Amino acid sequence: MTTSPRQIKLGAFLMQTGHHIAAWRHPDAQADAGVNFKHYVELARRAEAAKFDAVFLADSVGVRNRNIDSLSRTARSDHFEPLTLLSALAAVTEHIGLIATVSTTYNEPYHVARKFASLDQISGGRSGWNLVTSSGEGEAQNFNLDAHVDHAQRYARAAEFHDVVLGLWDSWEDDAFVRDTESGVYFEPEKLHPLNHRGEHFRVRGPLNVARSPQGRPVVVQAGASPAGRDLAARTAEVIFVAHQTFDEAQSFYRDIKQRASDYGRDPDQIKIMPGIFPVIGRTQAEAEEKFARLQDLIHPIVGVQLLSNMIGGFDLSAYPVDGPLPDLPETNGGKSRQQLLIDLARRENLSIRDLYLRIAGARGHQQIVGTPQSVADQLQQWFEEEGADGFNIMSPWLPGGLNDFIDLALPELRRRGLVRTEYQGHTLRDHLGLHRPEHRAVVGRRLSQAA
C-alpha cells in the first residue's frame, strides 16, 4: 500500500429502497428493492465505479415494528439477509468493501467468525463485520425469549463474542497451509492454534475450519454510542458508524473515542470514525428543497405518527389530531435524553404532531443536509478537517436516485478539493481504509519472546 494524503472514507449505506421512511413510494425508487438482487448489483457497481470504500448493510433479525397499520405502509419487513447478499455481490464486484451487520445477541461466535472469514476468502479480502447487539422484543421472540436481553448483559456478551471471533480468525498462521503434494503435508501442525476459550458466555474449542483470510482478520465495525458501546468500540472497533446531528456533537464524540483508544494503547489513527450523512442534493438550494419536500409529502400520517410515538418512548399518539399540538406526556426519566429533546423542541417552536414527525422522518438521527454540491462539500470538509469525522456513511434518501445524486453532484466537488480518492490504491478493505493488516498473535508472541 502506498502512502497517500488523508482522504475522506466513504461508505454507501444500502437500505433497500433508501433511508427516508417513505422512499419506497418515490417514483424513481425501486419499490421491491428488498428482494431485488439486480437493484443491489447496480448500486454496488455504481458505488465501486465512484471508488467508495465499502457498501454497508444494516440488519435486524426480525420485524421490529408491531403496529400493523404503520408496518404495512413501510418497506421494512422484507429484505435479503446481509451475508447471503454480500456474498453474491462479492462475485460481481472487484474492489469495493463489503460490510454486513450481524448481531451478537442471538448468534454463536463460531458461525459468525466462519461466515466473515469465508466472505473474506471469496472476495479477496473485502469483508467487514458491523458488530451490534439486538434490543428489540420482535427479535428476542424469534429466539426462544419472551423479552429482550438487558443492556449490560448484551454488552458483556458482545465483548466476549468479539474476543472469541478474533481468536478464531487466528486459528491458523498465514503460512500454515503448505499443501505440498509431493510429501503429502497439507498443513504444518505447529501453525495450527486451537482457541480453547472458556469464558462466561462461551466455550469454544476451535480451530476455525477456514484458513486465515486475505485481510488477516475481516474489519470490525461498531456503532455503539452509549458509554458501554463507546468503551467496547475504543477497545475493539476499527471503524465506528455513528449518528450525529451537529458538528459539536460529532467533534466531541470523535475526540472522546480517539482519547479512549489511546488510553487502551491503540493508535487512534487505526479507528476510523464515519458518521451517517443524509444528503438531499440539488443543483440549486431550491431544487434540493423541492426534492426533499417531494419525499416528505409521501409520508403517510399513520407512518409518521407511529415513528414519532416510538421516538418519544413508546407513547401512542395515534388518538390525537395530527395537526394539533403534542399532548402532555408522562415525564421521561432520561433527563436530556433524545425523547426529551424532541418534546422540548415541539414546545419551543410550537410544532404540531405532523410538524414534529416531519423533522425526524428523513435522517432519523443522522446529519441531514439539504443543499447544493458546494454546501454538502463544505460541511463534509469541515467535519473531516476539524476532528469531526474520518469519513461518512452516505445514507441515500432514496435508491438508486439519491446515491446517484451524491455521486454525480457532490463527488466531483469533493474530488476537485482533493478530499476523496480518484482510484483504488490497494486491493482489500483494509487497504482502502488505511488499516494495517493485523499480524497473527502467535507471530507477535514469538517476536516478543525473542526480544526478551
| Residues between 156 and 195 that touch its own copies (CB under 8 A) | 172, 177, 179, 181, 184-189, 192
- 73-102: contacts with its own copies (CB under 8 A): 73-75, 77-81, 83-85, 87-92
Contact status: 398 vs its own copies (CB under 8 A)? no
Nearer CB in complex with its own copies: 62/325: 62
153 binds its own copies per the rule CB under 8 A:
no
Q: Which three cell numbers stand for residue 87?
A: 456474498
300 binds its own copies (CB under 8 A): yes
Query: Kindly report the CA angle at 376 between 244 and 221, in degrees rounded to 5?
Result: 40
Using alpha carbons only, how large is the chain's radius of gyration in Å? 23
Q: Which is nearer to its own copies, 24 or 392 (CB)?
A: 24
Write the CB contacts of 116 (distance below 8 Å, at least 6 apart in sequence). 83, 100, 102, 127, 128, 129, 165, 218
In angstroms, what CA-CA distances link 390 with 15, 16, 54, 204, 274? 22, 25, 14, 35, 6
The answer to whether 342 contacts its own copies (rule: CB under 8 A) is: no
Half-sphere CA count of 244, side-chain side, radius 13 A: 21
* Other Cβ atoms within 10 Å of 121 Cβ, number: 17
Q: Which of 298, 342, 363, 369 binds its own copies (CB under 8 A)?
A: 298
Per CB under 8 A, the list member of 42, 135, 174, 202 interacting with its own copies is 202
Residue pair 26/298 in contact (Cβ under 8 Å)? The answer is yes
Subset of residues 99 to 138 that bind its own copies, contact rule: CB under 8 A: 106-108, 110-111, 114-115, 117-119, 121-122, 138
Does residue 65 contact residue 306 with C-beta atoms inside 8 Å? yes
In this complex, which beta carbon is closest to its own copies, that of residue 106 or of residue 247?
Answer: 106
By CB under 8 A, is residue 282 in contact with its own copies?
no
In the 8-state DSSP scheme, what is residue 155?
Answer: H
Q: Which is nearer to its own copies, 38 or 348 (CB)?
A: 38
Q: What angle do CA 340, 345, 351 make, to 5 degrees?
A: 125
Q: How far is the CB of 303 from its own copies (least distance, A)?
A: 8
CB of 445 to its own copies, least distance (A): 20
The one-letter amino acid code at 308 reads: L
Residues 139, 105: contact at Cβ < 8 Å?
Answer: yes
Shortest distance in whole angstroms from residue 116 CB to its own copies: 9
Q: At 279, is the secondary structure helix, strand, or coil?
A: strand
Question: Does 318 interact with its own copies (rule: CB under 8 A)?
Answer: no
Query: At closest approach, how far in Å is the CB of 161 from its own copies?
Result: 12
Specify the residue, 177 or 315, whose C-beta has the smaller distance to its own copies. Answer: 177
- Choose the stretch contacting its own copies; rule: CB under 8 A; options: 207-215, 353-361, 392-400, 418-426: 207-215
Asked if residue 438 binds its own copies (CB under 8 A), the reply is no
Q: Is 41 in the site for its own copies (CB under 8 A)?
A: yes
- For 150, the grid coordinates are 438487558
Judged by CB, which is closer to its own copies: 27, or 227? Answer: 27
89-118: buried (b, 16+ CB within 10 Å) or exposed (e) per residue? bbeebebbbbbbbbbbbbbebbebbbbbbb
Q: How far is the CB of 171 from its own copies (least distance, A)?
A: 9
Choice between 121 and 252, CB closer to its own copies = 121
Q: How far apart are CA 271 and CA 431, in angstroms?
A: 14
